[in-house]
């Protein structure tokens, strides 16, 4: 259940095992309403940072409920913790700039299984019955290997979930994420994906108390925050009045507390009504890619 400033939240949960509107059924559907206040807002409307954290929490809690758990408690056969790590997310048709204090944000979350280890959630956002965006998130269950650090984790098939549906249309985002991680994708959103030098680089030293989650991983929402902070440095005039219209993030690694990362601007383009860019996050000491982030921002 989301925590809001008022006690007038409502929740509706509808199982969609057989009565699905899609070509493949969703396993669950849940709608919540949030009264917007300062934690949910930023200078330019709805806070994308808050939103991603909340959607990540909804994704995690939905997994727990599908597994018959009152709270998330996934473990492998030795009892070691198993986590749902995000490998891709996509924000589409976002219109966050008009969100204001005391407005109601309605979020409808659906979830389906797309492989042995992967789950996909879809979150539709409405402000006063007006659609303001859709977010898709792909997670995979992982566990730390013997070393225990964040550089090496292995996938794990958690039992107790319904089987995955054999429909390629349900896994488009996951398939593209795999293609980017393996180097098979040549471009995305018109941006080439190759080893060309970055136009601009900014170093970050993530803070354990701010940027890492309770499992000890660099939190997925922090990746987006680093890209926005970098954008503020390399495109301040464009960034000053911009809000996100689209953002695709493809994750491929993590770091341990105390390690540094770099945001590398690979390309920046003007587009009608705003600008877009491809930013790569890399681990500084070995240059390994942590994420490719593709962003379209519209001027307000």
The answer to whether domain 1-168 and domain 186-300 are alike in fold is yes
Encoded tokens for 102:
């005391």
Picking from 237, 223, 205, 236, the residue whose alpha carbon sits closest to that of residue 279 is: 223
Is the pLDDT assigned to residue 63 strictly greater than 80? yes
Are 142 and 151 in contact by the 8 Å Cβ rule? The answer is no
Are 288 and 253 in contact by the 8 Å Cβ rule? The answer is yes
| Residue 299: C-alpha distances to residues 67, 185, 288 (Å) | 43, 29, 33
Band of the pLDDT at 158, cuts 50, 70, 90?
confident
DSSP β-ladder status, 83-92 and 41-42: unpaired
Predicted pLDDT of residue 19: 36
Is the pLDDT assigned to residue 168 strictly greater than 70? no
Going from N- to C-terminal start, the domains of the chain cover 1-168, 186-300
Band of the pLDDT at 25, cuts 50, 70, 90?
confident
Picking from 99, 96, 100, 104, the residue whose alpha carbon sits closest to that of residue 9 is: 104
Q: Which residue has the higher pLDDT, 162 or 24?
A: 162
Predicted pLDDT of residue 9: 34
| Dist CA 53 CA 59 (whole Å) | 10
Is the pLDDT assigned to residue 212 strictly greater than 70? yes
According to DSSP H, which parts of the chain are helical? 48-66, 172-182, 208-211, 220-234, 236-239
Band of the pLDDT at 272, cuts 50, 70, 90?
confident
Sorted by sequence, the CB contacts under 8 Å of residue 172 that are 6+ apart come out as none
1-168, CATH topology level? Thiol Ester Dehydrase; Chain A (3.10.129)
| Dist CA 178 CA 86 (whole Å) | 12
Please state which of the four CATH numbers 3.10.129.10, 3.40.50.720, 3.40.50.261, 1.20.1260.10 is assigned to the domain occupying 186-300: 3.10.129.10
Is the pLDDT assigned to residue 118 strictly greater than 70? yes
Q: Which residue has the higher pLDDT, 171 or 213?
A: 213
Band of the pLDDT at 23, cuts 50, 70, 90?
low
- Average pLDDT score over the chain: 88
């Amino acid at each position: 259940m989301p925590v809001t400033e008022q006690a007038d939240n409502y929740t509706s949960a509808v199982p969609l095992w057989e009565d699905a509107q899609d070509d493949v059924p969703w396993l669950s559907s849940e709608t919540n309403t949030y009264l917007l206040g300062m934690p949910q807002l930023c200078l330019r409307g709805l806070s994308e940072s808050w939103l991603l954290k909340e959607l990540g929490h909804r994704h995690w809690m939905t997994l727990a409920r599908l597994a018959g758990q009152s709270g998330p408690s996934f473990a492998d056969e030795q009892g070691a913790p198993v986590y749902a790590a995000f490998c891709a997310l996509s924000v589409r048709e976002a219109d966050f700039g008009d969100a204001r204090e005391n407005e109601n944000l309605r979020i409808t979350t659906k979830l389906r299984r797309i492989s042995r280890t992967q789950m996909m959630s879809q979150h539709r956002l409405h402000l006063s019955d007006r659609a303001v965006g859709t977010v898709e998130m792909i997670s995979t269950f992982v566990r730390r290997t013997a070393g225990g650090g964040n550089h090496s984790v292995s996938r794990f098939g958690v039992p107790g979930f319904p089987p995955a549906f054999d429909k390629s249309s349900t896994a488009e985002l996951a398939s593209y994420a795999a293609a980017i991680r393996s180097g098979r994708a040549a471009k995305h959103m018109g941006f080439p994906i190759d080893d060309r030098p970055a136009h601009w680089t900014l170093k970050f030293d993530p803070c354990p108390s701010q940027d890492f989650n309770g499992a000890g991983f660099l939190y997925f929402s922090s990746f987006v925050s680093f890209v926005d902070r970098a954008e503020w440095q390399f495109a301040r005039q464009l960034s000053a009045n911009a809000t996100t219209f689209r953002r695709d993030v493809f994750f491929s690694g993590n770091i341990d507390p105390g390690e540094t990362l770099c945001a590398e601007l690979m390309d920046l383009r003007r587009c009608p009504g705003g600008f877009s860019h491809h930013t790569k996050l890399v681990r500084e000491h070995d240059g390994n890619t942590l994420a490719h982030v593709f962003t379209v921002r519209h001027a307000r």
